[in-house]
A and B are shown apart, each in its own frame.
Chain A
Amino acid sequence: SAVISQKPSRDICQRGTSLTIQCQVDSQVTMMFWYRQQPGQSLTLIATANQGSEATYESGFVIDKFPISRPNLTFSTLTVSNMSPEDSSIYLCSADDTYGYTFGSGTRLTVV
């Protein structure tokens, strides 16, 4: 199955700044997904990223706040813009696999 390298693994950021999270897949994948996971909670889908098209955002998430790039079939980035403490969370990328998803190891973001 595919393997995803996600970085950074964690970061502490000042409010008002932006952080870009990168995910590199070791094989070509059609669909990539970005999730947010609050501590002790389930995963909330932020957006779906397909190569060559704009990302599709879920209700409650907007492109200005979470711009996503998908320049090729093995790479994607998520930017958390103009951060506030409410953005403190774990952010996970995933990609479609033979069955189900493969996930990156997550980025633990703390906004102070």
Chain B
Amino acid sequence: GEDVEQSLFLSVREGDSSVINCTYTDSSSTYLYWYKQEPGAGLQLLTYIFSNMDMKQDQRLTVLLNKKDKHLSLRIADTQTGDSAIYFCAESRTNAGKSTFGDGTTLTVKP
């Protein structure tokens, strides 16, 4: 079945850039998402990218997609302490259809 993998932990200094990586196995993935989960909260959709795109930028967030390698990354510029959270990568074949989630990357931002 479909699989999504992420590294579990990332620690950066405030002001640095963070790069969270994700790989997926389903070559039919059409929609790729990044979600943020803060302690005690649900998941918040941060951004998404279609499989026919290479890059998407939204303020401090940049998503890069290498479809050939099935590799997705999320770059957060000028990382702030408020960015500390768990970040989930997810994929689906159809918009708002069933998604497969990675295990989440815990980002810790040190002052």
List the B residue with the shortest CB-CB distance to A93: B42
- A37 to B: closest C-beta gap in Å: 9
B96 touches A100 (CB 8 A): yes
Residues of B within 8 A of A108 (CB): 40
B45 touches A97 (CB 8 A): yes
Interface of A is mostly: strand
B53 at the interface (CB under 8 A from A): no
Residues of A within 8 A of B42 (CB): 4, 6, 92, 94, 103-106
Residues of A within 8 A of B95 (CB): 96, 99-100
Which range holds the interface residue count of chain B?
A: 20 to 34
Instruction: Give the distance in Å from the alpha carbon of A55 to the alpha carbon of B7 in the complex.
Output: 33
Known interface pairs A6-B42, A42-B88, A92-B42; A99-B103 also in contact (CB < 8 Å): no
**Mask: chain B, 83-111; 1 = CB below 8 Å from A; 0 = not:** 00000101000011011011110000000
Instruction: Give the distance in Å from the alpha carbon of A103 to the alpha carbon of B99 in the complex.
Output: 13
Instruction: Give the distance in Å from the alpha carbon of A42 to the alpha carbon of B2 in the complex.
Output: 14
Which range holds the interface residue count of chain A?
A: 20 to 34
B88 touches A101 (CB 8 A): no
List the A residue with the shortest CB-CB distance to B6: A42
Residues of B within 8 A of A48 (CB): 98
Known interface pairs A42-B104, A43-B88; A101-B98 also in contact (CB < 8 Å): no
Instruction: Give the distance in Å from the alpha carbon of A108 to the alpha carbon of B54 in the complex.
Output: 38
Q: Which of A1, A6, A45, A92 contacts B43 (CB 8 A)?
A: A92
List 16 contacting pairs A-B, 8 Å CB cutoff, sorted by A.
A41-B104, A42-B88, A42-B101, A45-B98, A48-B98, A96-B95, A97-B96, A99-B33, A99-B48, A100-B45, A101-B43, A101-B96, A102-B45, A103-B42, A103-B44, A104-B42
